């Protein structure tokens, strides 16, 4: 195969590749310029660690709300934070945040 025919073949492949990229770019552009509304993505509940909860409860206790913190833990069937089910952390934090704000 001569150098010219090799070059011609490489150029043909580059053109085909470029045309494929143009098609892909146009498809992406069409998706993002669509007048349809994107489907709503449900918000997931924030994920909290035991340390997150402990920090918030400790701050409330230090601010003079030990009784309220203890009552909140008891509401979740616990005497100590380690007894609270991790799936309840978000709800517990939500309730703890309002302690002392009323």
Residues 35-63: tens digit of each pLDDT = 666 666 666 666 889 999 999 999 999 99
37 shares its domain with 57? no
pLDDT < 70: residue spans in the chain: 34-46, 102
Same domain, 34 and 54: no
Q: How far apart are CA 77 and CA 89, in angstroms?
A: 13
Residue 16's pLDDT is what? 76
Q: How many domains, in total, are found in the chain?
A: 2
Three-state DSSP class for residue 69 = helix
Tell me: do 30 and 54 sit in the same domain.
Answer: no
In a domain, 79, yes or no: yes
Domain check: are 54 and 93 in the same one?
yes
| Whether residue 60 is found in the same domain as residue 25 | no
- In a domain, residue 102? The reply is no
State residue 86's pLDDT score.
92
Q: What does DSSP assign to residue 87? A: G
Q: What angle, rounded to 10 degrees, do the helices at 50-62 and 89-97 form?
A: 20
Asked if residue 57 and residue 22 are part of one domain, the reply reads no
- d(Cα 82, Cα 38) in Å, to the nearest integer? 41
Does this model's pTM top 0.85?
A: no
Q: How many Å apart are CA 77 and CA 54, to the nearest integer?
A: 16
**Domain enclosing residue 83, as ranges:** 50-97
């Amino acid at each position: 195969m001569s150098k010219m025919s090799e070059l011609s073949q490489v150029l043909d492949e580059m053109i085909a590749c470029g045309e494929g990229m143009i098609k892909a770019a146009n498809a992406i552009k069409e998706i993002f310029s669509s007048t349809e509304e994107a489907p709503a993505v449900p918000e997931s509940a924030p994920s909290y660690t035991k340390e997150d909860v402990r920090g918030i409860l400790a701050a409330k206790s230090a601010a003079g709300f030990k009784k309220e913190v203890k009552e909140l833990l008891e509401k979740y069937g616990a005497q100590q934070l380690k007894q609270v089910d991790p799936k309840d952390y978000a709800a517990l934090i939500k309730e703890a945040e309002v302690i002392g704000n009323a």
